[in-house]
Structure formats: structure tokens, C-alpha cells
Amino acid sequence: MKKIIATIACTMCTAVICAQLVWLSVDKQPFAGTYSRNFHHLLTALQNQAALAYIPVVTAGIITERRFLLKAISTHNAALAVPVRHGGFGLHLQQSGYTDYRRQVIGLSYGRTLGDRFSIGMQADYLSEFIPQYTTTATVVFELGCLMHLTSQLHMGLHVFNPTAGSAQSLGKNKVPAIYSAGLGYEVRPAFLLSIAVTQETDAATLTKVMCEYRIIKQLSLQLGICTDPQLNSAAIGISLQQLYIQLSASHHPQLGLTPATAIVWQLKRRQ
């Protein structure tokens, strides 16, 4: 009986969230640093694979979020970036759900520079959905992104998730949407970045997000985001401790509540 109740509750939550950009978990929601040159890190590379071109050393991280404080729809991520000549490779693993319903993503990505002011990236995602004793479904989708550094302060980015959305891209009865995003970032000062992003998901309202990131000191930064339709206001604190980066963040939906998230990123020491 407990499993039946939990399954019904999770199904109802999933139905509600499907209208609220369900595919935009913490690793897909735009950060201010996504559209920059000096604020890149592993998390921004998950949102736009073109940023892999600017990660200088081997970097690994884990990210976890509890969507609307519900354990049944928590999401956990692991990511790895490995730099190569003119670019870098990435690996992304994601799992969400609980014992009786689980969704997984395995992503392989590559990003590289094309000159001093332009970079491109792509990722292949293997999506799977598992319901014990009922069904297992899977499909493959792609992501494409680019970053353009128009000046030393002004930056622009484009990204698309699943551009070939159609009847073939589905998990069970859930159609995998196409998600298009574009953004601008302006580095007002070396320590202050202001960004705006527009995201459009198939059969959903256009989402606009205004963000900023301020490095109070080298070891501490603050991030704020104001999002429209759905209204998902967010805040984050970033702590840098030599090779370790910790980010504590939270977003709030007026009807569904709070979503806390934690990210821990570690990178190899740079050679002098």
C-alpha cells in the first residue's frame, strides 16, 4: 500500500512539474556565469557545453537538489571535465526519482574554441526511465551550444536541447521537449557580472531570467536570479577553497515551494 501511495504521489508531482520545465533541473537552469569569459566553471559547462573549451584542468563535481523538498523527485548529478588541445571533453551522469520510479541521463560532451572569441560544444544524452515490474524505456537526444565573446566585457551564448524533438524522442508516454535558450552577459567590473537569459520549451511559456554574480572576495561570491513564468527566484553562495569550490543554492516556486541544491567541485592544481 505504501508503494502504491508513493507512486500515485510521484505521478501527480511529475504531472505538475511537466508544466514547469521538468527537464530544467539545477544543471540546466542558467547561471549568470554561463554567459561570460571569467566566471566559467564546471556547472556552467553543464548548461552550455561550449564552456568546456575554457576549463584549464581536470575537474570533477557532484550536484544534488531536492526538488520542492520532495525526496521522491530528488536529482543527483556527477560531472567530469578533461581539457585537451583547443577544447575539452565532458561526462555527465544524472539520476532522479526513487525506488519505484527512476530517470537517468548519461551525457558525453565536447567543446572547443574557434579562434579567440568563439567556442562551440555538443553533447549526446542517453535518457532512460525505469518503473520496476512495469516498463523500461530509453532514447537518445543531443545538445548544441556556442559562446561568443563580443568584447572583453560583453558575451553571448546560445544553446538547444533536443533540437530534433518529435515522436521518436519520448520516454514512455512523456515526450522529450526541445528547449532553446539564449543569453547575454556583461561584466560590469572584473568582480561583478550581470546576465539575462531567455528559455523556450516546447508547449510552454517563454521563461526570462535576470541574474547577477558578485565576487565579494576571491574566496566568496553571491549569485541572485529572478525568473518569470514560472516564477523561480534563486540565490546561491559560492565558496572557493584553493582547488575546492562549494556552491549552496536554493530556488523558490510560489506554489510548489523551495528547492535546495548543493554542488561540490574539485579541480587539479594548475602547473606553475
Is the pLDDT at 62 greater than 90, yes or no? Answer: yes
C-alpha cell at 115: 579562434
203 or 3, greater pLDDT: 203
272 or 262, greater pLDDT: 262
Supply the mean pLDDT for the chain.
85
Q: Could you tell me the pTM of the whole model?
A: 0.85
- Residues 141, 121: Cα–Cα separation, whole Å: 14
Is the pLDDT at 83 greater than 90, yes or no? Answer: yes
Position 259, amino acid: T
Position 176, amino acid: V
Q: Return the top range by mean pLDDT from 13-22, 96-105, 189-198.
A: 189-198
Is the pLDDT at 266 greater than 80, yes or no? Answer: yes
Cα dihedral sign, 189-61-165-254: negative
